[in-house]
Chain A
Amino acid sequence: MPGKNLTDRIEKYVKIIGKEKQLKQGQINSIIQLISTVRTDGAISDEDLLTFFELVGEES
C-alpha cells in the first residue's frame, strides 16, 4: 500500500532537499520532527513553531 511508506518518503525527500541546501543533520532532524508533529496533531501552535525555527536557525 503506497500510504504505508508515505512517512518514509516524506523523510527521504526532506533529507535529499536538506542535503541539497547543505543543511546539517540536526536541522534536517528538526524539520522531520516538525512535519511529524503537524501530521500527528493536525496543527502546531505558533509558540512551538518558533521553537522549531530556533532549532533550525541556530545551526545555520
Chain B
Amino acid sequence: MTQNNIFIRKITWENVRNFESLELPSGSGKFSNSTSLAQIQNGYGKTTTLYLLRSVFSNMPIDKNFIKSGYRYRFPHKKWGGDQNSPSKFYVEFEVNDEFCRIGLEIDHINMKQKFTTFRESLGGEIDGWQPPNIFRRLFEGKDDFVKLFVMDGELAKELNSSTGSAAVNAAIKQVTNLAGLHLLVGSELTNGQIHRVKQEQLSSIIGDGEERGVRLQSALSKVEELKQEQRMRLQQAKDHVSRVSAEIIECNIRKNKLDKKISQTNKELEKAKTRLERSSTDLEKTATSILERLFQPAFSYPEWQEVQEFHASQVKAKLPRSVGRTWFKEVLELETCICGRSWDEHSKEYVGEHLEDFLDTRLMTYVKEMQDSVAEHSNSQSYGSELERLKQKQIERVLNSQSVDDIRSQASDEDRKAYSELDQKIGTLTTELTQWEHLRDVIGSEKLEFIKEWGLHQFVYNTDTTVTNNIAKIKEIENLKGLEIVESDIARKIAEIGGAAEIAKGAELVQNVISEMLTRVEKEINIELEGKMNSSISRMVGAGQDGGLVVKITDQGLQYYNPNGDLQSGVNMAAELGGSYAFISALYQYAEVSIPLVLDTPLAGFGDGASADWTKLVPPTFNQVIALINSSEMRALKGWFEKGNADVYLIRRADEVIPLGKPQTGKMIVDSNVDNFVTYERDVLKGDEE
C-alpha cells in the first residue's frame, strides 16, 4: 500500500537550548534513506529536539508554558555564537514525494509568540504558516498521537504497554491503516459520527421525530381530499339550485307576461310602459359602465390633471439627454443595415458619426414626443359631479318607469292583481334564494382573487406567517375549493419531501451499518495479523520472547504480555516492554500508505547488548528511514552493527570537548562526522562507570 514517501533530509537549530547554530547533517549533507545515528550527550537536547519535531509534523505549537524558557538558548554570554535574546528557530527539511519542503518553528521568548514557517518553491519561497504538501497535511495535521508513534521516545514505548496506552494503540492502528477517517464517519457510538450528525441536521427538520410528521400530514391530506369531495357535492347542489330557482323565476316571469298580455288587451299603455322600463334599465346599465370606464381615465379622475397636461405641453419640445441619444446612435451604427434598410458603408458610418452631435442638438426622439403629445392632448369634458348626476337621473327614470308599469298592473282585476301579487312575492322569495345559492356557489367554486379576498375565503388557508396551514381544525373551516387545493398541494409537496428525505435517511443508515461492520471485521483481521507479526518478532528478541517466552496481545488495555502458561504478566521488564513496542510499530508500519521516517530518542535505554542486536534486526529493516538520537551507552551497544556500514553516524558535541571524556562542555556545538570520534566519544566516562 506504500505509495508515497516522506523523508527527513536535514534538521537545523538556531538558539535552541544548547544549540547556537547547528545543521544536521552539516553543510550540503543530507540524511540518507537508511539509518542515521546521531550521538548526543545526555542533557544536550535530544528530548527538546523530539518535541520540536512533533510540533513541526503535527502543526501543533509548543505548550505556551514553555515559550518563555523551555527552548531558549541557555547561555547568557555570546562567546559561542548563541544569543539568548534571539528567537529560537528550528527547521526540518523534508522530501515529500520528491518535493523539497522546509517547515520551521520560531519561538519568540520575549514577545511570547511562536509561528510556523514553510518554504516550498510552489509557494514562491518561504511564507509564514504551516503549508506542507497535501499528503503531509492529511497524514499529520493535528494528529499528535499518530506523530508520537514515529517520533518516539521510551515514554511512549512504555505507554503502549499500559492501560493508558490502549487509546494510543487503537488510534495508531486506525491512523496507520488510514481507517481513522472512516471511524469519524461512523463514530464510536451510533450517535456521534458524521453520518448521524448529517442525518440529524439535514433530514430531521423534514422528517420530524420519527414518522409522526408524515402520519400527521397524511391524515391532513386525507381530510383535505374528503373536504374537497364534500365541497364539490355542495357546489353541484348549489349550481342545481341556481338552475332550478332561475328556472322558477323565469317561469314566474312568463306567467307575469301572460297576465300582462291579458291586461294589454284592455290597456295598451302597459306594453309601452314595459318598453320604457326595459330601455331605462339598459340606459342605466350603459351609463354605469361608461362612468366606470371614465374612472380609469386620469383626465376624469385626477383633479390636478390640467397641471400635468400643461407641464407636458410645455415639455413637448424637450429632448432626451445627449448621452441617451448617443447610445442609441451607436447601437444603430453597430447594426448590419441602417434603420432605413440600406447597408452601412464606411462613408455613411463616418458621416453619421461626425454629425450625430448636431442631430442630437436639433432633433427629437419620436417615441418620447408621441408620449408627450398623448399626455398633452388627453382631456375630458365631463366632470365627476356631472357624471354622478347623470347616473342618478338614469336611476330615477328607471324607478319611475317601473312605477308606471306597476300602476298599470294595479288596474287589473282583483283576481289578476292577486295573481300578480303572488307572483311578485314568489319572485322576491326566489330571488333571495337565488342570491343565496349563487353566493354559496361562488364561495365554493370561485377562483377570482377579488371575490376570495372580499369574502375572506382563504383566511383559514394561511397561517399568520403566510405559510399554508396543515392544521386539520383550520382546514375544516375552508369552503373554497381553490383554498383546499392550495392546502392539498402544500401537504402533498411536504409528503413528497419526507418521502425523498426518508430515502436519504435509509441510505445513511445503510452506509453507517455497512461501514461499521466492515471496520469491525477488517480491524479484527488486522489485529490478528499484527499480533502474529509482533509475536514473530518478539520470539526472536532477548528479554521478551526468546528467553522469557512471552506472547504479546493487543487488548483494550494496550499491549499485554502472557507467559508460556497463558497467564497475564502484569509487570514485564523494560526490555520486554520496549521490544513489544518496537515489534508493534514495526508490524503496524507495514500497513502504512506512506513511507514515514522513524525518529527515536534514546531507543535502546533499558536494552542489553543482546536486545540491542535484536533491535537492529527488527527496526531499521522495517523503515525506509530511521533517525535515532542516541547516547554513548547506546552507541557502544550498536558498535558492531554500525561499524559494518549499516548506519550513517554523526556526533554532536561541543567544540572544546576532549572526545574520550566528553568534557569540557565548552565551545560552540558542532556536528562531528568522524567515525573514530563517534566510537570513542565518552569512552573514558563509560569505562569509569563500568569499573
Chain A contacts to B: CB under 8 angstroms: 1-7, 9-10, 13-14, 17-18, 21, 23, 27, 31, 34-35, 38-39, 41-44, 46, 49-50, 52-58, 60
* Bound CA span A57–B517, Å: 18
Question: Are A53 and B593 closer than 8 Å at their CB atoms?
Answer: no
Question: Are A60 and B503 closer than 8 Å at their CB atoms?
Answer: yes
* Bound CA span A23–B517, Å: 14
Known contacts A10-B518, A34-B511; A2 and B590 CB within 8 A of each other: yes
**Closest chain B CB from A9 CB (angstroms):** 6
**Closest chain A CB from B202 CB (angstroms):** 6
Report chain A residues within 8 Å CB of B518: 10, 13-14, 17, 35
Known contacts A53-B504, A60-B506, A60-B507; A3 and B202 CB within 8 A of each other: no
Name the residue on B nearest A27 (C-beta).
B510
Binds A, one of B181-189, B326-334, B417-425: B181-189
Q: Can you list, as one digit per residue, whether each of B516-546 has a CB less than 8 Å from chain A (1) or not (0)? A: 0110011001100100000000000000000
Report chain B residues within 8 Å CB of A38: 181-182, 185
Known contacts A1-B590, A10-B518, A14-B514; A49 and B507 CB within 8 A of each other: no
* Bound CA span A6–B521, Å: 12
* Bound CA span A6–B586, Å: 17
Name the residue on A nearest B177 (C-beta).
A6
For the A-B complex, the count of residue pairs with Cβ-Cβ distances under 8 Å equals 115
Report chain A residues within 8 Å CB of B247: none
B1 located at the interface, meaning its Cβ lies under 8 Å from any Cβ of chain A in the complex: yes
Question: Are B181 and A43 closer than 8 Å at their CB atoms?
Answer: yes
* Bound CA span A12–B181, Å: 19
Question: Are A6 and B1 closer than 8 Å at their CB atoms?
Answer: yes
Question: Are B202 and A46 closer than 8 Å at their CB atoms?
Answer: yes
- Given contact pairs A1-B590, A54-B503, A60-B503, a sample of 13 additional A-B residue pairs in the complex whose CB atoms are under 8 Å apart: A2-B590, A3-B592, A6-B177, A6-B591, A7-B1, A14-B514, A17-B517, A35-B182, A42-B138, A44-B181, A53-B504, A54-B504, A54-B507
Of all A-B residue pairs in the complex, the 8 with the closest CB atoms, nearest first, are: A57-B507, A3-B1, A56-B507, A3-B591, A53-B507, A57-B503, A42-B138, A38-B181
Question: Are A39 and B198 closer than 8 Å at their CB atoms?
Answer: no
Q: How many residues of B contact A (CB 8 A)?
A: 38
Report chain A residues within 8 Å CB of B195: 49
Question: Are B138 and A35 closer than 8 Å at their CB atoms?
Answer: no
**Closest chain A CB from B1 CB (angstroms):** 4
Question: Are A60 and B510 closer than 8 Å at their CB atoms?
Answer: yes
Report chain B residues within 8 Å CB of A27: 507, 510
Cross-interface CB contact of A21 among B177, B513, B522, B592, cutoff 8 Å: B513
Most chain B CB within 10 A, of A10, A21, A44, A53, is at A53
Q: Can you list, as one digit per residue, whether each of B560-596 has a CB less than 8 Å from chain A (1) or not (0)? A: 0000000000000000000000000000001111000
**Closest chain A CB from B359 CB (angstroms):** 58
B162-191: which have CB < 8 Å to A? 177-179, 181-182, 184-185
Report chain B residues within 8 Å CB of A58: 503, 507
* Bound CA span A53–B197, Å: 13
B515 located at the interface, meaning its Cβ lies under 8 Å from any Cβ of chain A in the complex: yes
B505 located at the interface, meaning its Cβ lies under 8 Å from any Cβ of chain A in the complex: yes
**Closest chain B CB from A21 CB (angstroms):** 7
B396 located at the interface, meaning its Cβ lies under 8 Å from any Cβ of chain A in the complex: no
16 A–B contact pairs at CB < 8 A? A3-B2, A6-B522, A23-B510, A31-B511, A34-B511, A38-B185, A39-B179, A41-B181, A44-B185, A46-B201, A49-B194, A53-B504, A53-B505, A57-B505, A57-B510, A58-B503
Cross-interface CB contact of B522 among A13, A31, A56, A57, cutoff 8 Å: A13
* Bound CA span A47–B2, Å: 30
Cross-interface CB contact of B529 among A2, A13, A50, cutoff 8 Å: A2
Name the residue on A nearest B512 (C-beta).
A53
Cross-interface CB contact of B510 among A13, A41, A56, cutoff 8 Å: A56
* Bound CA span A44–B186, Å: 12
* Bound CA span A23–B529, Å: 29
Name the residue on B nearest A34 (C-beta).
B511
**Closest chain A CB from B623 CB (angstroms):** 13
Question: Are A49 and B198 closer than 8 Å at their CB atoms?
Answer: yes
**Closest chain A CB from B612 CB (angstroms):** 26
* Bound CA span A4–B529, Å: 13
Report chain A residues within 8 Å CB of B503: 54, 57-58, 60
* Bound CA span A35–B517, Å: 13
Known contacts A38-B181, A38-B182, A53-B511; A9 and B590 CB within 8 A of each other: no
B318 located at the interface, meaning its Cβ lies under 8 Å from any Cβ of chain A in the complex: no
Cross-interface CB contact of A1 among B2, B184, B508, B511, cutoff 8 Å: B2
